[in-house]
Amino acid sequence: MLICDTHCDTLHKLNAHPGQPLDVTMERLRSGGVSLQTLALFVGRDPSPDAVQKHFDGMLRHFERLKGEGWTQVDDPRDAVEGQVRFMLSIEGCEILGRSVERVAEWRARGVRMAAITWNYVNALGTPAKENAKDGLTPFGRQAVREMARLGIAPDTSHLNERGFYDILDMGIAPVASHSCCRALCGHFRNLTDDQLKALFEAGGYVGLNFYPAFLSDDGRCTLDTLADHLLHMLELGGEGMIGFGSDFDGIEEKVPGLEHPAHLPALFETLARRGITGATLEGIAGQNLLRYYDRLDPR
Ligand SMILES: [Zn+2]
């Protein structure tokens, strides 16, 4: 079974917190059967242009080193191969674009195929959910999103606020939410409302379920069944064919017991099967649905 994960912060952790133990390692990805691991280039804790550039340079240096150690980069999820581990780059927080739409193509040339419009800072493109729900995309934000879609980069609405999310849909572009959960099951501002999820699925978007307990239940207490609850809720809202995993490993302090790193994924699959998520639905969630999203965004 092809398994894809649309978000982890491993490159950020390597660059910002050297020496800290990693959740995501090649050994664990192999053991968990992961075929495609998306690696986020995260804006970092200082959004000033010089600091962001320095952080991105550092994360890319780590990625080059890892490629020297045998990590293989792909610039299309459809190049993932079952039984092998591949890596794809994403951006989390578009501060790195500055105010230059030309820079979108530069990142596409480096293999970036997913870009979160904001992290938790207001930036030149839009406003995060952490700030408010009402301020939409800026004119530059719209221009950048249009350019992303043209180049086959999925605009990523995880962290973005509601107005910005609907602005993208209103442009006729189906975004992803690479690491987000259901607001109906956990009231965190980062989570998507039922209306957002329905609109996203109708448009042909994609949601990767975040494994962070604080996004999964209001008291932060979860089991693997809580993850199944969120996926089943998305399925009820029309998410068949459009959902998967966005673990957020190496970006989350707490873990769901029994799902501390990628090698534990088989336990999640057992739980999903026990909850009735089987067959083509399970294979879709594991990885095929992400490939189908790219078929819609960027037909080959
Ligand atoms: Zn994030």
47-67: per-residue pLDDT in tens?
999 999 999 999 999 999 999
Amino acid identity at 225: D
Ligand 1 center to residue 230 CA distance, Å?
18
Domain regions of the chain by residue span: 4-297
Proportion of the chain above pLDDT 90, given as a percent? 100
Ligand 1 center to residue 159 CA distance, Å?
7
230-239: per-residue pLDDT in tens?
999 999 999 9
Residue 244, burial from CB neighbour count under 10 angstroms (0-12, 13-18, 19+): buried
Ligand 1 center to residue 39 CA distance, Å?
11
Contact (CB, 8 A) for 193 and 224: no
| pLDDT average, residue stretch 59-83 | 97
Give the phi and the psi of residue 4 in degrees, each rounded to 5. -125, 145
Ligand 1 center to residue 138 CA distance, Å?
21
Contact (CB, 8 A) for 168 and 157: yes
Ligand 1 center to residue 271 CA distance, Å?
25
| pLDDT average, residue stretch 206-232 | 98
Confidence class of residue 300 from pLDDT cuts 50, 70 and 90? confident
* 233/185 Cα distance (integer angstroms): 8
Ligand 1 center to residue 297 CA distance, Å?
22
Angle between helices 162-170 and 194-203 (to 10 degrees): 20
Q: How much is the pLDDT for 4?
A: 98
Ligand 1 center to residue 178 CA distance, Å?
8
User: Which tokens belong to 115?
Assistant: 């870009």
Average pLDDT of the chain, as a whole number: 98
Q: Is 50 helix (H, G, I), strand (E, B) or coil?
A: helix
Q: How much is the pLDDT for 273?
A: 98
Proportion of the chain above pLDDT 70, given as a percent? 100
248-268: per-residue pLDDT in tens?
999 999 999 999 999 999 999
Contacts 24+ apart (CB under 8 A), 295-298: 295/78, 296/174, 296/204, 297/149, 297/152, 297/154, 297/174, 298/76, 298/152
Positive/negative CA dihedral, 74, 76, 79, 82: positive
Q: Does domain 4-297 have CATH number 2.30.30.90?
A: no
Ligand 1 center to residue 299 CA distance, Å?
27
Angle between helices 102-109 and 139-151 (to 10 degrees): 30
Give the phi and the psi of residue 256 in degrees, each rounded to 5. -70, 125
| pLDDT average, residue stretch 129-146 | 98
pTM, two decimal places: 0.97
Ligand 1 center to residue 252 CA distance, Å?
9
